[in-house]
């Protein structure tokens, strides 16, 4: 019999409330991003012009001081003020939800996982990564309102699959931030460092590892692949299953840590997870100590799909309600 425990009514209700607020906060951040920077008036050769300044101090001239540019400036500043106020208000409410998550023991994902996901999101590179492997089950169980037994969940590392098809956007973002992937991970935990003999792995002072993997190089993918121009950054290692995972269907779900912090996790579609784990469990070349766990995880996620409503969440994400 599989070890799967239903969440309490209070835990489920709190998770739903927190999830709704996270979505509202994400929308508010997207609105605020549209009005980053500012607008200023500047006199050039005796003519007063409206100039749009970006967050990176780039400037673009909108036009001379006329009724239409005055209206543009007024609308921009009004939108910016409203967006800033909304982000601040929802941010304060998110902190309240975090505390409630902790009180009701809503989450149990390791804090480091959620902090890494938050760091990727804040840097604007979350869309270029998939969380794969054991930690994907945190997304699946959260979607079902259950807790999977610890035997299937035990792990001390996090696999992040980098989508090399989005490398241009990824590199551009890191350049704009003047950052590296390792620097982003250090926003989650300053103690992360790259292992000298495993350049795809960052490890923190608690011994928790984050591995960066990728598909086998194809279609002009660079190889080998250092994640940024920084000499001390991580390198992505090729995995044979990377192509199927990165080109397959995706599944996204809010995950909550034991401290109540929240982050959106993007991972494999549950049926693809089952397929990968089932194949690994039957692979004679697979570490024999890992094969039983692969089989257990495949059976657990299959049970979540068949008996705990995971299929309905996944189907809803593939076919969003447009009514």
Same domain for 86 and 225, yes or no, is: no
Judge contact between 66 and 72, C-beta under 8 A.
no
Same domain for 264 and 123, yes or no, is: yes
Residue 323 lies in a domain: no
Q: What is the DSSP string of 229-274?
A: S-TTS-EEEEETTHHHHHHS-EEEEEEEBTTS-EEEEEEE-HHHHH
Same domain for 96 and 127, yes or no, is: no
Residue 139 lies in a domain: yes
**Enclosing H/E stretch for 51:** strand 47-53
Domain boundary among 75, 105, 135: 105
Same domain for 177 and 291, yes or no, is: yes
Same domain for 131 and 175, yes or no, is: yes
Domain span including residue 239: 107-318
CATH number at residue 148: 3.30.460
* Number of domains forming the structure of the chain: 2
Residue 62 lies in a domain: yes
**49 strand-pairing partners:** 42, 64
Same domain for 275 and 301, yes or no, is: yes
Judge contact between 18 and 106, C-beta under 8 A.
yes
* Beta strand residue intervals within 257-317, DSSP E: 262-268
Cis check: omega of the bond before 224, within 30 degrees of 0: yes
Pairing of strands 193-195, 198-203: antiparallel
Per-residue pLDDT of the chain (323 residues; tens, 9 = 90+): 789 999 999 999 999 999 999 999 999 999 998 999 999 999 988 999 999 998 777 899 999 999 999 999 999 999 999 999 999 999 999 999 999 999 999 999 999 999 999 999 999 999 999 999 999 999 999 999 999 999 999 899 999 999 999 999 999 999 989 999 999 999 999 999 999 999 999 999 999 999 999 999 999 899 999 999 999 999 999 998 899 999 999 999 999 999 999 999 999 999 999 999 999 999 998 999 999 999 999 999 999 999 999 999 999 998 755 44
Domain boundary among 86, 105, 124: 105
* Measured distance CA(182)–CA(38) in Å, rounded: 31
Same domain for 281 and 176, yes or no, is: yes
Same domain for 145 and 30, yes or no, is: no
Same domain for 184 and 305, yes or no, is: yes
Domain boundary among 79, 105, 131: 105
Cα torsion for 39, 124, 137, 182, to the nearest 10°? -140
pTM for this predicted structure: 0.90
């Amino acid at each position: 019999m599989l070890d799967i425990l239903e969440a309490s009514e209070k835990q489920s209700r709190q998770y739903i409330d927190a999830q709704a607020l996270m979505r509202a906060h994400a929308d508010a951040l997207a609105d605020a991003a549209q009005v980053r920077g500012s607008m200023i008036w500047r006199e050039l050769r005796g003519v007063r012009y409206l100039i749009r300044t970006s967050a990176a101090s780039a400037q673009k001239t909108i036009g001379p001081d006329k009724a239409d540019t005055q209206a543009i400036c007024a609308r921009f500043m009004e939108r910016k003020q409203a967006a800033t106020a909304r982000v601040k208000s929802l941010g304060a409410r998110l902190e309240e939800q975090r505390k409630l998550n902790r009180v009701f023991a809503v989450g149990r994902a390791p804090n480091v996982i959620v902090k890494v996901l938050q760091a990727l999101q804040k840097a604007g590179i979350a869309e270029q990564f998939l969380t794969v492997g054991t930690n994907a089950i945190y997304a699946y169980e959260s979607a079902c309102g259950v807790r999977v037994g610890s035997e299937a969940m035990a792990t001390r590392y996090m696999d992040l699959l980098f989508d090399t098809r989005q490398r241009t956007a990824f590199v551009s973002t890191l350049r704009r931030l003047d950052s590296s992937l390792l620097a982003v991970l250090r926003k989650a935990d300053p103690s992360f460092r790259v292992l000298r003999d495993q350049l795809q792995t960052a490890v923190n002072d608690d011994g928790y590892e984050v591995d960066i993997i990728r598909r086998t190089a194809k279609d002009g993918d660079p190889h080998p692949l250092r994640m940024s121009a920084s000499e001390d950054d991580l390198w992505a290692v090729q995995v044979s299953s990377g192509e199927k995972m990165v080109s397959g269907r995706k599944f996204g779900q809010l995950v909550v840590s034991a401290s109540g912090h929240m982050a959106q996790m993007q991972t494999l579609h549950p049926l693809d997870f089952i397929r990968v784990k089932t194949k690994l469990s039957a692979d004679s070349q697979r570490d024999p100590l890992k094969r039983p766990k692969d089989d257990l995880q495949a059976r657990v996620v299959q049970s979540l799909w068949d008996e705990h409503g995971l299929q309905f969440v996944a189907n809803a994400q593939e076919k969003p309600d447009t009514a």
